[in-house]
Structure 1
């Protein structure tokens, strides 16, 4: 039954998906709010840009789902909250999932739910908490036919990195992606590797589970589009970008450029030209 919902996530022409993540407010970090302070306005902009999906929390999903008509992005719902992104870190770290997340997702007509599988240096307790959450979510997701997107997140030491920074080590990413598959992921939301030519290894270890690639921190347009083409060529089934869209000077324009790359096979330079022409 979960496949029925997934058919609304992936574009029928390309079989790929662009999911715009705007669930950052769930994590209680001031810097994460840049660009999403006015959520009704953000969602209106994204609905007009019409990516394949928008990733929201249960408290913000109504902004999308109250839009009339069927021609709007699908909802992917974030189901867990943690305090692992600050600098300095809180003395007590936690990661919890919403106990009624799957029922809420069904009521809100989501096409999938998303939850973390984090590897933090020296904090195996957080990984254990994630695993417990994922096992509980998997049981409920199976019962209700709700696809489960697991987000393997390998993080650098907070003190060394100066805050929330991912670790692009290929071996660490592939190991955590494989654990996500073993835990029953219907979808994987994974970081790009530092060496992007290694990304076929991530796809291979996922064993046929669709991989959507995370966007991470802000980069320039050419870097973003070049990386997008590279992961798609490696076999990724789509992308989940947040800050690179919502903090962009032209969120609708970069969305259109990315959609052209995903669904029409447009190259980097062509996508850049289309984006720049919007500002002329």
Structure 2
């Protein structure tokens, strides 16, 4: 596990001890949404900030991975599913760990949605990936949401706490979940988790300020960093939005 630990440590800023991961894997699930056409420009800008990693699907990793600054961690998303499928919360493995490694991955991601009739298969996928990735020394980030027929409120604090605990219990090296808005329960789950917990940016918010406020509260509660996507690449100025996120997470230089 030494390789896994060393690679995971590179996803955290040595000064702040926190992580900013930019997620750019939305094209597979959502198609040509606003901002997705500028991924190459965004990748060029990321290296100028204190961002620690980017998440890409395997095709973009192969095509544009060379454009990613070498100090950044390239994280390849292994799960896939589209918004047109039924059920919409279904995620299947569309990339293997060896394929991700050939594409230049420094870490891999698996998306799990709990609280639905496909939960068992997605959990099985996470189990297989953690085993294969750890054999090759690659860290695994489990992105876990409560979505499906059994879920009434995706941000229910007890569900978010369970998602955090689930990722830690099943061997992920990083766990990324939405922020519940409840500092007490989120902090307890994050402190009890054996691996770092990142908070996801979630759907595009009306303004970046409200997104930053949620991130700051989650960091104060115990999050080790953020994994943000739409609130950066769909911003009118993605580079500026990313710089503001980085400053909020790591502090001013």
Report the TM-score when normalising by structure 1. Answer: 0.80
RMSD: 2.6
Map of 2:110 onto structure 1: 115
Q: Is the 8 A contact 2:77 2:108 kept in 1?
A: yes
> Aligned pair in 2 of structure 1 residues 170, 94: CA closer, same or farther (>3 Å)?
closer
Map of 1:127 onto structure 2: 119
Q: Is the 8 A contact 2:181 2:214 kept in 1?
A: no
> Aligned pair in 2 of structure 1 residues 111, 255: CA closer, same or farther (>3 Å)?
same
Map of 1:105 onto structure 2: 100
CA offset digits 1:141-195 (Å, max 9, x no partner): 111011011111112659x99xxxx710011111122122111111100110043
Alpha-carbon shift at residue 226 of structure 1 (Å): 1.3
Map of 1:12 onto structure 2: 14
Alpha-carbon shift at residue 249 of structure 1 (Å): 1.2
Map of 2:35 onto structure 1: 35
Map of 2:174 onto structure 1: 187
Map of 1:246 onto structure 2: 233
> Aligned pair in 2 of structure 1 residues 37, 99: CA closer, same or farther (>3 Å)?
closer
Q: Is the 8 A contact 1:2 1:145 kept in 2?
A: yes
Q: Is the 8 A contact 1:20 1:241 kept in 2?
A: yes
Secondary structure at the residue paired with 2:80? Answer: strand
Map of 1:66 onto structure 2: 66
> Which structure 2 residues correspond to residues 94-173 of structure 1 after superposition, within 5 A?
94-98=90-94, 100=96, 102-120=97-115, 123-124=116-117, 126-155=118-147, 167-173=154-160
Alpha-carbon shift at residue 65 of structure 1 (Å): 2.5
After the TM superposition, which segments of 4 or more aligned residues of structure 1 sit over 4 Å from their partners?
A: 91-94
CA offset digits 1:97-139 (Å, max 9, x no partner): 1352x1123223322111112124xx32x21111111111011
Question: 1: CA distance between counterparts of 2:87 and 2:229?
Answer: 28
Question: 1: CA distance between counterparts of 2:228 and 2:27?
Answer: 15
Unaligned 5+ segments in structure 1 are 267-280
Map of 1:22 onto structure 2: 24
Unaligned 5+ segments in structure 2 are none
Between Structure 1 and Structure 2, how many residues are aligned?
A: 250
Q: Is the 8 A contact 1:156 1:167 kept in 2?
A: no
Pick the structure with greater CA Rg. 1
Q: Is the 8 A contact 2:197 2:223 kept in 1?
A: yes
> Aligned pair in 2 of structure 1 residues 167, 91: CA closer, same or farther (>3 Å)?
closer
Q: Is the 8 A contact 2:144 2:163 kept in 1?
A: yes
